[in-house]
Amino acid sequence: MPPILNAQSISKTFGATALFKGISLTVDDGARIGLIGPNGAGKSTLLAVLGGQLEPDTGEVAVRKRARAAYVPQDSRYEPGVTVRAVLKAALSAAHGSETEREGRLRELAGRAGFGDLAAEAASLSGGWRKRLAILEALASEPDVVLLDEPTNHMDLAGIEWLEELLASSSFAVVTVSHDRYFLEATSSEIIELNKVYAEGLLRVKGAFSRFLEEREAYLESQARQQESLRNRVRTEIEWLRRGPKARATKSKARIDTAQAMIGQLAAMDARAVENTAGIDFAASERKTKRLVEFDGVACDVGGRRLFSNLTFTLTARMKVGLVGPNGSGKTTLLRLMRGELEPADGTIRRADALQLVYFSQMRELDENVTLRRALAPEGDGVIHQGRTVHVASWAQRFLFTGEQLNQPVRNLSGGERARVLIAKLMLEPADVLLLDEPTNDLDLATLEILEDNLLDFPGALVLVTHDRYLLNRVSSTVLGLDGKGRAAQFADYAQWENWLEEEEAPVGSELPSRAEAEPTPAAPQKKKLSYLEAREFATIEQRVEESDAKLAAVQARVESPEIATDAAALQQALADLELALHENEALYSRWAELTEKAG
């Protein structure tokens, strides 16, 4: 069978910048492709071209006959007043499915994603839940391939696990742009890196992300050896060319042409071999105080709801805290309490004298109308970094910006480039405590690795909110978890936090357990409980069964109606509806029994 998507020699340029040239790739049935690459390589643009949202400048994308492709962009936005039900209903209508099946299909989609309130306004949902809704919209058409652009951005960790389980249990092909290494490892059977360091503009490796890293290293080592071999041959040819016209006259013109071609080939390899990474180096203050922020019995209320209570916790120098919890559990609010923007409902918060806290907001607040030059250096042509003046052009180059970009407005920057601007601003502020709220969104893998290294080396304290489990596990020395039900606890790592959530009967004290208390003790193997995805489905399935029973009763009453009995066409339609309702009802009861047995 031909591939679902077949892109041949496609190129795309924006302004004077060529994002990619002559790219060719295919997407086959059941493919699980992770698409990665540095910021500005054109990953999102390539995905939009594959999804038919953009036309390539050259080349073409062929879609297999009758195949359906669904595209989910980075930002999922909805008009005010539109409900979750309305969004899904419109998507199902556009898919031209049977009208009698739409309500059941709508309930199935919403149930599997954990949407309990279909009347909720889509625009008022958190970023993670809007992303779930956008993915459900895409699935409504029962696509052959789904194209996901940074789907884990703004999702909490539970949402990412939901998406991993969804992709693992689905038959459609997937192409995903992501920088989440654990997510790529869990969901991809093939990795494509879009990068100009490769002769063909990309490197494609079959296998998980860990396999890709090995193959990429081998490829670059091989390329480096070829480059050095070619450099030696070029050096020999250049010496020959320098011997003068007399020597060259006795040689064939072909050798001169070959030497020129080799010089050009080496220049191309040298150009591709340049792979820049941002220079990140957070500055710490000279503070000697050990206890920086102390929470004693702190409770916090927002909008009449208690987010957490009786939180006792001390942030000390060099401590690296990963702050985790579902969306709405109070992670960002806790950072605001640390900064003094909010006052606790109960308890006390003590901060060290003249404490210097530097905050990175997930909102990425930048004035889009100013130029990059003014965003980096608001008051002149230079910045003060670690006691010395650095010209704005050099400062911009450190964060991989070109001189031409300095006079362009911030609104022209990509999400990753905006993140680098904010990191550049943070680096100018000496800090006792770094408060980072989702700093990894839109950053490419190379920049992520530099960020990790500098956070590990940062001599001050760190509180990190992130959905990147790899970063969390590598950087955090302790994990503070909020469960969204008012409880909090401290753990050695993210795995312990997950285990705590699953221990429904485990006692949770009013105070945070010490790390020694949080260490797991050997226990007998436990029966596997419902997965996160199944738990969400189980929470709504009883209501769906009741609705199915009512629908079945209504259809049966219609079949038995005397008016229907005398109308052959209406009776035939009613009998067909009855068969469908019976099938849906039996399937729901079967699924309910299956989940009930597993939960018990």
pLDDT of residue 124 exceeding 50: yes
- Please give the average per-residue pLDDT across 449-473, as a whole number: 87
Per the structure block, which two tokens stand in for 97?
A: 């499915």
Parallel, antiparallel, or unpaired: how do β-strands 433-437 and 357-360 relate?
Answer: parallel
Q: What is the pLDDT of residue 52?
A: 94
Give the mean pLDDT of the chain: 81
- Please give the average per-residue pLDDT across 430-441, as a whole number: 87
Domain 5-195: CATH architecture, name and number where available: 3-Layer(aba) Sandwich (3.40)
pLDDT digits (tens, 9 = 90+) for 532-547: 566 667 767 777 777 7
Q: What is the pLDDT of residue 512?
A: 40
Residue 300's SS3 state is strand
Write the CA distances from 357 to 333, 340, 430, 594, integer angstroms. Answer: 15, 10, 9, 51
Per the structure block, which two tokens stand in for 565?
A: 């009995």
Q: Are 518 and 489 in contact (CB under 8 A)?
A: yes
pLDDT digits (tens, 9 = 90+) for 17-44: 788 999 999 999 999 999 998 887 889 9
Residue 486 or 232, more confident: 486
pLDDT of residue 191 exceeding 90: yes
Spell out the alpha helix ranges (H) of 20-156: 43-50, 84-94, 99-113, 127-139
**CATH number corresponding to 291-518:** 3.40.50.300
- CATH number, domain 532-599, options 1.10.287.380, 1.10.3720.10, 3.40.640.10, 3.90.180.10: 1.10.287.380
pLDDT digits (tens, 9 = 90+) for 321-358: 999 988 888 898 999 999 999 999 999 999 998 899 98
Confidence category of residue 167, pLDDT binned at 50, 70, 90 = very high
pLDDT digits (tens, 9 = 90+) for 214-227: 888 888 788 777 77
Is the pTM value of this prediction over 0.75?
A: no
pLDDT digits (tens, 9 = 90+) for 55-96: 999 999 999 999 999 999 988 889 999 999 999 999 998 887
Confidence category of residue 516, pLDDT binned at 50, 70, 90 = very low
pLDDT of residue 297 exceeding 70: yes
Confidence category of residue 511, pLDDT binned at 50, 70, 90 = very low
pLDDT of residue 514 exceeding 70: no
Chain centroid to Cα 165, Å, comes to 15
Q: Tell me how far apart the alpha carbons of residues 464 and 476 are, in angstroms, rounded to a whole number.
A: 8
Q: Tell me how far apart the alpha carbons of residues 270 and 21 are, in angstroms, rounded to a whole number.
A: 18
- Least confident window among 256-270, 378-392, 570-584: 256-270
Per-residue DSSP letter, 82: -
